[in-house]
Amino acid sequence: MNAPWVAAPTLREGASVPWESGGMHDPASPRESRSSSPMRPGQRADARRNHQKVVAAAHEVFSEHGLQASMTQVAERAGVTKATIYRNYPTKEALINAVTRHQFRLLESRTRAALSEPDAYEAFAAYIIDLFEWMAHDRLLADALSEATVVSPAPVIELISQLIDAAKPSGKLRPDTSAMDLRVLVCGAVLQLNRLGNREPSVWRRYGDMTLAALRPWPEARMASA
């Protein structure tokens, strides 16, 4: 299931990409939003179109292949030369950072939505399954979360910590559960699935279920496995 908050920008001619047009702007991070979109006022229309193609193609290519994707692949997908990419993004890392920041803003938005749900544990459980399904489709997000070497996931981790704390009073989550526990379980599974090259959504959902089982209080976990 490719959830609506995972939707990738398309290569439709003239279409704007969310992190350039402001459609996904996070008002809490204006400086970060600007740095993700190096377009300059007054640039020619064809230059703007090429930039839109590049960032949309980068989203597609890095989502499919992760951090190992090349600038050549992005250029081929966008139908432009590598020189066109380097005019706005001087390094591969700069382009990856722009796309990753956008993905993290989407994830922050999804986490805030979970925090607003009336049943905190059900929201937490649905969030974990959704996250695994998302990463099955988005190799870049999976790499960025598990390796944490591209863009710091600290704002997302803080929101997830709040989600965990909200779910604890339900009695369905171990009282000593922490954001670090969840990160170890999720990222450990993600790293192995990535190394095995498994992108089957049902397999990723299964590990989401196993993560939830590992975090249940012991008596409940024992009954669930019986």
Predicted model pTM: 0.76
Q: Which residue has the higher pLDDT, 200 or 45?
A: 200
Q: How far is CA 174 from CA 49, 96, 181, in A?
A: 51, 36, 11
pLDDT digits (tens, 9 = 90+) for 24-53: 333 333 333 333 455 555 557 888 888 899
How far out from the chain centre does Cα 145 lie? 7
Confidence bin at 16 (pLDDT 50/70/90): very low
Grade residue 23 by pLDDT with cuts at 50, 70 and 90.
Answer: very low
> What pLDDT score was predicted for residue 1?
36
Read off the pLDDT of residues 49-102 as tens digits, 9 standing for 90 and up: 888 999 999 999 999 999 899 999 999 999 999 999 999 999 999 999 999 999
**% the chain with pLDDT above 70:** 77
Token pair, residue 200, equals 């089957």
Instruction: Retrieve residue 88's tokens.
Output: 């706005």
pLDDT the model gives residue 29:
36
Of the candidates 215, 41, 25, the one whose C-alpha atom is nearest the C-alpha of residue 108 is: 25
H/E element, 189: helix 179-196
Given a cut of 50, whether residue 17 has pLDDT beyond it is no
Distance of CA 166 to the CA centre of its chain: 22
